[in-house]
Amino acid sequence: MLCRQSFSTVISLLPKSSICSVQNIPKHSPDIMRGSVCFYSTSEVKPKKAPQSSRYKLVVVGGGTGGCAVASKFASLGKECVVVEPSDLHYYQPLWTLVGAGLKGFRLSVQPMREVLPKTCDWIKEKAVTFNPKENYIVLESGAKIEYQYLVVAMGIQLDYDKVRGALDALENDPVVASIYHPKWVHKTFPALQEFKGGNAVFTFPNTPIKCAGAPQKIMYLSDEIFRMLDVRDKTSVIYNTALGVIFGVKKYADALLKVVDKRDIKVNYKHNLVEVNHKTRTATFENLDDNSKQVYFQYDFLHLTPPMSSPDVLKKSPLANEGGWVDLHKHTLQHVKFPNVFGLGDCTSLPTSKTAAAAASQCGILHKNLSAVMSGKPTVPLYDGYTSCPLVTSSKHCILAEFDYEGQPLETLPFNQAREMRLMYNMKAHLLPALYWNGMLRGRWNGPSFVRKLLHLGLGRKPNLPSS
């Protein structure tokens, strides 16, 4: 059996108690998942049962990356701030690419929700089911009503596996179908790759916005490396079927990735959108978006499925959403276009940038400034330039670090060309960024690398393209 260990160049940044080996990755079940939690913090916040009616100065809906970070920023409000989040686990999902390739243990990617939320704030462990921004309240699944002065929406993105016919059935029943986007099915990925004997390895990208748009490629490059280590690459076709018309949305990094797929002999099919999986015949059906949705069939011996995604259903039907179902924000201030006491950040919003944890980090600092201004009776300031980042892992040693803005222009932090495969970038992705996430961003102490960029570029880098106040 193939076994791989991650690099430890910066491992000292991580708590030793959080390190686990590839061999100890558990199969998914709710009880085992709770047993695989790592403990970083000594303080906890316990969930509070919602009374039938309550009122807070600030309500944060969502306990993911953006919600936790915002709550930490406003921790000084104490019990005037509440986080509404139904889950008792918090995941660092950017690590799941490496988990799927056997480079990291799943335990490094999860903590109890009670330990990542600020202990000064209230936590109500329920779902929000109704938003009424005209009257400044939300309704919970229990029927409880929470009034607010200010609202931050950070509900993340919804995984729509059910939009692909047969996908859920295949993920449940076919050992060679996996998906790194879900805590249950990321565990299937590395065992399936270990058992791969050759044939067609198919990787998909859907015809919807998704979080971490580089992840479907990252697991493909790491899988390709595994196939070479197993000595089966010469009898394997690695196929990337993407609904997009380009391999990556920013030309500088797309050009670099095209060189990677050419060097690795990876077949890329553009405008191919997965619509059905038949796990009994191991056939994946795609619609060709350039040919009147003509159906194209691929036999697979391994299938990595990236699901269609969308805004959470509760937001789609709310007054906060635009026509596409996303929370409708001013893209430079993060304030809602209709309701000035409502702000948002992260994957559930209309912000026209790539949906990543790096984007949420930059958005969090700007949201804090602008929401604080509104609370003080001052106007918002256009500060967000769309900064986002995608560490494009191309092997267990190398990574291309893509950083760019709303205009798709590179906005690189380091003073050299980041569109090259480098060990430094891999070590940052695998070791530094997880520590920065748990100990910096979720604590409200990390607003993205803009200050580092200014420092390393001596203040001479490209200025953000922002409207005047």
Active site residue ranges: 212, 390
- Any idea what DSSP says for residue 174? -
> What does R_g of the chain's alpha carbons equal in angstroms?
22
Closest CA to 272 of 286, 291, 293: 286
Kindly report the CA angle at 182 between 431 and 298, in degrees rounded to 5? 110
Strand-pair category, 110-112 with 89-91: antiparallel
- Locate 132 and state its tokens: 């009424």
Which residues face 128 on adjacent strands?
140
Cα separation, 381 vs 414, in Å, equals 27
Residue in 393, 404, 456 with CA at minimum distance from that of residue 428: 393
Residue with tokens 């600020």: 118
CA-wise closest residue to 449 among 406, 419, 405: 405
d(CA 352, CA 348) in angstroms, rounded, equals 11
Q: Are 215 and 181 in contact (CB under 8 A)?
A: yes
Angle between helices 357-375 and 65-73 (to 10 degrees): 40
| Tokens standing for residue 113 | 């929700």
- Give yes or no for a contact between 198 and 235, defined as CB atoms under 8 angstroms apart: yes
Element (H, E) at 224: helix 215-229
